[in-house]
Structure 1
Amino acid sequence: MPILDMPVEKLKEYTGTNPKPDDFDLYWERALAELDGTDPDPEWIPADFKAPSADCYDLYYTGVRNARIHAKVLVPKVHKDKMPALVNFHGYTGNCGNWTDKLSYAGAGFVTAAMDCRGQGGRSEDTGQVKGNTMHGHIIRGLDDEPDNLLMRNIFLDAAELARILMDMPDVDADKVGVFGVSQGGGLSLACAALEPRIARAAVQYPFLSDYRRVWELDMAQNAYEELQSYFKFFDPLHEREEEVYRRLGYIDVHNLAPRIRGKVQMAVTLMDNICPPSTQFAAYNAITAPKELQIYPDFGHEFLPGQEDRAFRFLMEMLEG
């Protein structure tokens, strides 16, 4: 078969290139302590959209740094016992999408939420206020400031906070909460499952936000990862700070967070993906020590994967069997 990155046998052994900072665990302990000290103050606003199977709400809650985060939430109208729940995360620069996208899961009995990432295409606030470059994207936002001010850190914490809000709902079974997403949504699903270890299942397709240095080494720092290249061109053209930059990006690298995941993971990887290179996807998958399953799509890139959404649905429905 054609090879974009490295042979499948090598991909299955690949453990990543981007460094993990020595204080990585302390960094995330400090971040989670900040989240613990943040009152989410959730506000549930009945949505204009109506559906026969679910009550629909615009949820606003407070994330770290006092940003109000928006999510769409659908609550099944009919249920006998405590309900399972799901959180969906969208692709890079996008938003939480239409209500109709979530109705299949709500109709199956899941409380279903979809988050707008702060500062991207939805209705969440971005309180920002970082030093340095904010051009061409969110991966590098805060890179010239203190590591605690990396924007992606705060988005990861927003994801975990939304899962916690669902888990605290009186009609939700906190042991049956899952996450799912594609590209950035896949990366955020992994980050959420890592930072909120009660997440029972994660269904992920070709995750973004993994193994940044590998992307650059493959000369694929373009499209979604363009900001890596633009950062060096504008702010470190001789790569004098290269080691420092990639070490700092290691705080928000999901392949470094993946070993913290405790729930079961289903991941689909694409071998012709020139946006999220295959090795970066495998770096995250291979780092997961929890139960996991893998689907490999040899001929596909960053695109719709036939059958995968149905496979993810069945995988997440298995939570109802336990």
Structure 2
Amino acid sequence: MPRIDLSLPELWEYRPELPEPPGFDAFWSRTLTEQSAVPLHVSLEPVDNGLVAVDTFDLTFSGFGGDPVHGWLHLPAAPLRGDGRLAGIVQFQGYNGGRGMPHEHVFWALAGYAHLVMDTRGQGSGWTTGATGDPHGSGPSTPGFLTRGIGHPDAHFYRRVYVDAVRAVEVLRRHELVDGARVAVTGISQGGGIALAAGALAPLAGQAVAAVMPDVPFLCDFRRAADLPTLDPYAEIGRYLSAHRDEVDLVFTTLAHFDGAIMGRRATAPALFSVAVMDTICPPSTVFAAYRSYAGPKELAVYEFNDHEGGGPFQQARQAAWLAEVLR
């Protein structure tokens, strides 16, 4: 497979200077303050997942603007839970994936965690199913999600998604069976980028996370990604700008409000990143940018000969061991 980015030694030396957009902190403080007035309205209904070791609940809560956001809550089956409250994990989905079917994402519940699988609004029709719409419109955009609402941070798609993510953390932290001080966030690709955002923003909403596990994260170092011969979703930026030739500064200023390599400067929880050096979707230099800027204690798992599949089951095993140690 071709390498589209720097060599591994060059990646370890890559330290981009990513300017923060004016008013970055004020933008997120205002956003979270506005959304804090919206009641969570949590609904949990048990569903039959066909499994004997995991109990699953159909979850709905109020996300950005009170919009209903769906997910699954998986718990170890009642006889397996033990006496104390459970540590928890909120999982975010890859690009255009949804929560899937009740039996799809049960690894973390089998490992003993309360596991909330959150839909990404408006997605879930690419590689797995979702149930959450996005009722908010946007201005002109190229097909996909990255340029929806690109004209202003207030209108951008990922503003709504990141608020949903913060509220998902709050939902799990509040659950009666969960130890709110031991809730982690994770995800692959887009899910990794959302996890970075949640790790940075949730503490500002009074919902601190205990650990962050972003795998081959998307939504980082946007300008670098747009300048490389990447596949979608980053290629959406170039297609949009090939038509809107006069909006280059506007586009990258808006995207900077949602950049995981900037978000991570506000995060303090321990983090375990992963990166694939042959990645043609989320170039490794963009992941290294996010890793370098992350303010909390951090580790990076490097998969030198993998594309966007990254570490796969190897990384999941490493996550399980790492998280058990961090939350011990």
| TM-score normalised by the chain length of structure 2 | 0.90
Cα shift at 1:102: 3.2
Cα shift at 1:300: 1.2
Unmatched runs of 5 consecutive residues or more in structure 1: none
Q: Distance in 2 between matches of 1:303 and 1:184?
A: 13
Correspondence list, 1:143-292, <5 A: 143-144=150-151, 146-197=152-203, 198-220=208-230, 222-234=231-243, 236-237=244-245, 240-292=246-298
Correspondence list, 1:76-115, <5 A: 76=76, 77=78, 78-115=81-118
Cα shift at 1:66: 2.6
Quote the residue 2:135 is aligned against.
127
Cα shift at 1:242: 1.2
Quote the residue 1:15 is aligned against.
15
* CA RMSD, 1 decimal: 1.8
Cα shift at 1:319: 4.3
Quote the residue 1:293 is aligned against.
299
Contact residue 220 and residue 261 of structure 2 kept, 8 A: yes
- Of 261-270 and 102-111, deviating more is 102-111
* Cα offsets for 1:64-117 (capped at 9, x unmatched): 123110011112223301111101111101112343343332122211011110
Count of matched residue pairs = 314
Cα shift at 1:50: 4.2
Contact residue 147 and residue 248 of structure 1 kept, 8 A: yes
Question: In structure 2, the residue corresponding to 1:302 is in which secondary structure?
Answer: coil
Quote the residue 1:29 is aligned against.
29
Quote the residue 1:312 is aligned against.
319
User: Identical aligned pairs, as a percentage?
Assistant: 33
Contact residue 34 and residue 64 of structure 1 kept, 8 A: no
Question: In structure 1, the residue corresponding to 2:275 is in which secondary structure?
Answer: strand
| TM-score normalised by the chain length of structure 1 | 0.92
Unmatched runs of 5 consecutive residues or more in structure 2: 125-129
Cα shift at 1:304: 4.7
Q: Distance in 2 between matches of 1:79 and 1:26?
A: 43
Q: Structure 1 residues 18, 227: closer, same or farther in 2, change over 3 A? A: farther
Question: In structure 1, the residue corresponding to 2:103 is in which secondary structure?
Answer: helix
- Of 277-286 and 103-112, deviating more is 103-112
Cα shift at 1:257: 0.3
Matched to 2:274, the amino acid is A
Contact residue 275 and residue 302 of structure 1 kept, 8 A: yes
Matched to 2:100, the amino acid is G
